[in-house]
Structure 1
């Protein structure tokens, strides 16, 4: 089966103040998605599915998808508020779709084989894509499906301009994911970081902790599992106009129920993202340094 990739590109950057997916970060105007697709193709991805808002389709195809269509098979899927199972309907007052789990599920009609999932506005680096693609190519070795995720070191994901939300990974002795602890207010500090609003008060970190940045690798069958969890979510919380169906929560349910394992692939590479407007200059400088070092082609070659 061909290796595919789902790119979650439907969200808005609330703290950034606009749509981040088309921000120029490379020396020739490249976006985060340009670097992600470049790295994904080098890792063997043969099909890319962009999850977008339906009203943006024409502009997205013209401005983004058209840049890749001569190199890889491209499809667009739509994350619609009313894309929900029969018997359910959006509650009064809800205007946004249902979260990252729903975003991945929106691509279910376009995905057939193992697939990578990423955020459109994040830079993950070539090493992360190579590691994830390699894990998905390995044959099944037991009765349970073994999915994968890339974990970055916390210090390599923090912003100097404000607090960030991060999911800290708890690992089993064999290196699989035991669970993810969400911290919503981590601030970078010399020698690590701290969550000033953590459970029980101040929580300090060394910076070496593995964190999830929403870079996953799933085996076939994950879409069916997501459908089941989404139905259960709607039965419990579908009437809440602010409830979110998060992808990590669905993965955690699979683990806790003994239905799957998730292999954690740690990378020493840096993750880049524009959480705040002030992050942009730093991200541009970091990526231009990678281009200058020969890790990416110059003059818009990606």
Structure 2
């Protein structure tokens, strides 16, 4: 059974100013998601599941169903605020969605095979999909998961500091912890992170998480149990978010599961602000010129 690609696409993209998940970046208006799915099909994924808000479904179907028909199985699931589905009867007010780990729970009824989770607005490169398929087919178990580790030097922005989850890896290549560094940037040819108004160097090859995870369906029950506790503990904190690294942290610290950090040397790029768009467009144009992608992706 081929693995599934689970795409997190329910975010509102408030800083970007529009639905960047379906904005065009390729020469024929291709979205970043188009390139992700193209790479996933090439690598050997058998199904793609979009996690979206229900009000987005017609837009997504109009864009993706015609081009993906006959190429890969497609499904849509909705992230919502209903807590009764998790057995939580208490009404909890929210200003924003519960976060990425809550989002993957939306796929628990349709994903029955090993799967990979990615962000809709991140360009990861074919190497990551190929390595993830190999892991999911050959190594994944209910107690052995994975994360793609990008070199921090290949994830920075020209438009200012970025936040990155720096991976601490043991001698076996497994994740020990993810340390969130909220201000990472390049200065005088060196990568540094800022903490308490001091700067500390980071090696160019330092592995970081860009939210590219590999799981088996067993993680859904684990995540649901963790979410119930998180939701009740944060019922008075309407901005608290339940992120995927919290799952990894819990499983690693409790010795319930290992996470293999699979290295890639691919360049990562993504869009947070409108100013990022020309850079992404130029990067895709260069990949097309280099023969990595056809100019018309789905023709």
Q: What range is the shorter-chain TM-score in?
A: over 0.9
Could you state the TM-score of these two structures normalised by the residue count of structure 2?
0.94
Correspondence for 2:279 among 273, 279, 282: 282
User: How many aligned positions are there?
Assistant: 298
Matches within 5 A, 1:156-195: 156-195=154-193
Alpha-carbon distance in 2 for matches of 1:248, 1:22? 26
Alpha-carbon distance in 2 for matches of 1:178, 1:65? 40
After superposition, give the CA deviation of every residue in 1:119-170 in whole Å (9 maximum; x if it has no partner).
00110000000001101111568xx621111111111111111221110000
Q: Which runs of 5+ in 2 are unaligned?
A: none
Deviates most, 236-245 or 174-183: 236-245
Q: Is the 8 A contact 2:88 2:228 kept in 1?
A: no
Q: Is the 8 A contact 1:91 1:240 kept in 2?
A: no
1:5 shift after superposition = 1.0
Q: Is the 8 A contact 2:140 2:216 kept in 1?
A: no
1:192 shift after superposition = 3.3
After superposition, give the CA deviation of every residue in 1:206-240 in whole Å (9 maximum; x if it has no partner).
32211000001112301111111111212321332
Alpha-carbon distance in 2 for matches of 1:90, 1:168? 35
- Residue 39 (structure 1) aligns with: 39
Q: Which runs of 5+ in 1 are unaligned?
A: none
Q: Is the 8 A contact 1:168 1:212 kept in 2?
A: yes
Cα root mean square deviation, aligned: 1.8
Q: Is the 8 A contact 2:148 2:213 kept in 1?
A: yes
> Runs of 4 or more off by more than 4 Å in structure 1?
none
Matched residue of 1:202: which SS? strand
- Residue 270 (structure 1) aligns with: 267
Q: Is the 8 A contact 2:95 2:239 kept in 1?
A: no
- Residue 241 (structure 1) aligns with: 238
